[in-house]
Structure 1
């Protein structure tokens, strides 16, 4: 009897792995589509305005060329966080104009990305591309884990890092490039975050969405 039952047991782990593989592939297609849209359909004036604001936030002069690292940060900030002249984010505009071509899964993933923001965390450990971390200011006993999506994460234990986290399927993923704070600025950055955090969740979340990218000026440089 037990043997016959075993023949019909559902392999839940296998099903879960298959679902995760499928949603990851859908997300990869969406990710590529979003950045093709950014490159080919975004208003040129918005791109120029965003680049000027990005330079201002980082204290860069108009002539200074952005290196590859900063260019990648610019592109993700432009898509996910930058607010256009009309008061919308480009991701919102992308969804409004493309939603009829999107699957239900893609629309759900877009909803997750819309809620995402740079989040300050403290790294506990890094093993086989999995980063274990705690919130810098929230419940520091709650250890979380996430793995990078497309972009590697060069971090070490005890570092303060700003990362964008999204739950894709059953897994937490680090989306886009991360900001590793230089040790010489850690006290200053933690103090800024602490002051904002005391003002409540909504102020805290809005601050990170609008000003999280500003912390790039305190990044650890290679």
Structure 2
């Protein structure tokens, strides 16, 4: 007997395709909004804040990959002089023209943070990884194609957002070289666990994610 019930896998693929499209259109609209709403004074202030947190010089931000890392942090993590993130200002201004799906995705993007992961395995367009100090494996898949990582990469800094049925990464994926035994890592773990108990872990990572860039491997791929 031939069933007329649509294939679940086909339905899943279509839903994922639409979710990815909604997210890409949302991010494209935000990128265009940023071009017309970036305040020079804010950006100068942001560069100094980012450089201090990431452990680099402000002059480094004119060169790759630091320019790309800064632009991503500025777009999604920087808190303006008035106390708001730029993506939040964009959503409030454009809420009337965003689709319900994009409004829902906006909430996820707004809280998405740069987080360190331990790499389990690397595929062409995804990576299986575990958040540092956690046990549950996650499959992180790129919204824009392959992960440009060395096979020997053991740790990464990534900003995933749950889109459709996938944990999509839409920001630069940064290879990390982590010290084997470091007092700063032990301090990070203690602060992380304390914030977890207070249900403030995501806010903590959102505010401090760029600090992991002190371990960035900036060797060319």
Match of 1:199 among 174, 191, 194: 194
SS of aligned partner of 1:221: coil
Q: CA deviation at 1:158?
A: 6.7
Instruction: Return closer, same or farther for 1:180/1:64 CA change in 2, 3 Å cut-off.
Output: closer
Q: Does structure 1 retain, via aligned residues, the 8 Å contact 2:65–2:218?
A: no
Task: Find the aligned partners of 2:180 and 2:38 in 1 and give their Cα distance.
Answer: 36
Q: Do structure 1's residue 148 and structure 2's residue 124 form an aligned pair?
A: no
Instruction: Return closer, same or farther for 1:22/1:205 CA change in 2, 3 Å cut-off.
Output: closer
Q: Which residue is equivalent to 1:161? A: 156
| Cα RMSD after superposing both structures | 2.0
Task: Find the aligned partners of 1:153 and 1:190 in 2 and give their Cα distance.
Answer: 26
Q: Which residue is equivalent to 2:28? A: 32
- 1:41-190 matches, cutoff 5 A: 41-64=37-60, 66-138=62-134, 140=135, 142-150=136-144, 152-156=147-151, 159-183=154-178, 185-188=179-182, 190=185
TM-score when normalising by structure 2: 0.88
Q: CA deviation at 1:63?
A: 4.1
Match of 2:217 among 211, 215, 220: 220
Q: Which has the larger radius of gyration?
A: 1
Q: CA deviation at 1:217?
A: 2.0
In structure 1, runs of 5+ residues without a counterpart are none
Which of 1 and 2 has higher RCO (CA within 8 Å, sep 6+)?
2
Q: Does structure 2 retain, via aligned residues, the 8 Å contact 1:58–1:214?
A: yes
In structure 2, runs of 5+ residues without a counterpart are none
Q: Does structure 1 retain, via aligned residues, the 8 Å contact 2:177–2:215?
A: yes
Task: Find the aligned partners of 2:185 and 2:151 in 1 and give their Cα distance.
Answer: 18
SS of aligned partner of 1:128: coil
Q: Which residue is equivalent to 2:12? A: 16
Q: Does structure 2 retain, via aligned residues, the 8 Å contact 1:123–1:132?
A: yes
